Amino acid sequence: MPPKWIEAKLTEIKPVTDKIRNFYLTLNDEDRFGFLPGQFVTFDLPVSEKRLQRWKSYSIANRPDGSNTLEFCIVHLDGGLGSGYLFNEVQPGSLLRFKGPDGIFTLKEPLDYDLVMLCTGTGVAPFKSMLDHIFHHNIPHRQLHLIFGTRKEEDILYRKEFEEYAAVHPEFRYDVVLSRQENWPGYKGHIHQVYLKEYAETRPDVRFMICGWSQMSDQATEYLTQKCGYEKSQVHCELYG
């Protein structure tokens, strides 16, 4: 059965950093859209005749709330056809065509395990959806640990939301690692140092979810399974870039 393509109106664009924007789509009432936190949609953008260049997938950043509005956190890649079109051609009121939701990078309930979320850049988007979902619905869970890596302090995405969660949920830990800012009081370098220190002792009751550039995801998977000795079933990746 061919995929169902949906056309939705872009209702808002919010600049986040020089190269990152949040895009908000609102669907028509007849296109009721259900998804699981962590899933993505695939846009068909008019940038090429070739499908691989036209089809661009982005994780949904908001939780399923029945509003029929979808949020996407997108980075403008140098030379990227898809992101170049979204940043330079579209504006509120533009119509975008997409299909979905797709993906199995989702929460495995019940959350009777400690969940460690490793991400860089806009790879934080699916975790934003998951955490909003968990806390809004008071879903029973154990320890949650978000480890986010980026270059500089101004590049920290959803900082306010995550800091507010950490302030009221003692079982939620939020660590930020900056690679290009020396005067940062927190972790400096790359995210690998954090989980390698915190989870060096292999445990059967912890799961790792990883989303970010392929090099980071590959390294994290290798370190966790080969250096730390975790089972492959305890490590789940969502790749992009």
Q: Which fold has domain 114-240?
A: Rossmann fold (3.40.50)
Per-residue pLDDT band for 199 (boundaries 50, 70, 90) equals: very high
Q: Which helix (H) or strand (E) holds 87?
A: helix 81-88
pLDDT in tens, 33-48: 889 999 999 999 999 9
- Give the N- to C-terminal CA distance of the chain in Å, as an integer: 28
pLDDT value for 146: 98
| C-beta of residue 210 within 8 angstroms of C-beta of residue 126 | no
Average pLDDT over residues 141-157: 97
Average pLDDT over residues 146-150: 97
How far apart are alpha carbons 110 and 53 in whole angstroms? Answer: 38
- Please state the pTM of the whole predicted model: 0.95
Fold: same for 6-102 and 114-240: no
- Tell me which residue has tokens 């949020």: 71
pLDDT value for 2: 63
pLDDT value for 5: 92
pLDDT value for 4: 86
pLDDT value for 213: 87
Per-residue pLDDT band for 52 (boundaries 50, 70, 90) equals: confident
Residue 239 has pLDDT above 90, yes or no: no
pLDDT value for 16: 97
Per-residue pLDDT band for 62 (boundaries 50, 70, 90) equals: very high
Integer CA distances (angstroms), 57 to 45, 53, 97, 240, in order:
10, 11, 12, 9
For the chain, what percentages of helix, strand and coil (3-state, to nearest 5) are there? 25, 35, 40
Residue 186 has pLDDT above 90, yes or no: yes
CATH architecture classification, 6-102: Beta Barrel (2.40)
Residue 214 has pLDDT above 70, yes or no: yes
pLDDT value for 189: 95
pLDDT in tens, 95-139: 999 999 999 999 999 999 999 999 999 999 999 999 999 999 999
Domain positions in the chain are 6-102, 114-240
Beta sheet of 172-178, edge-to-edge order? 187-188, 172-178, 144-150, 114-120, 206-213, 235-240
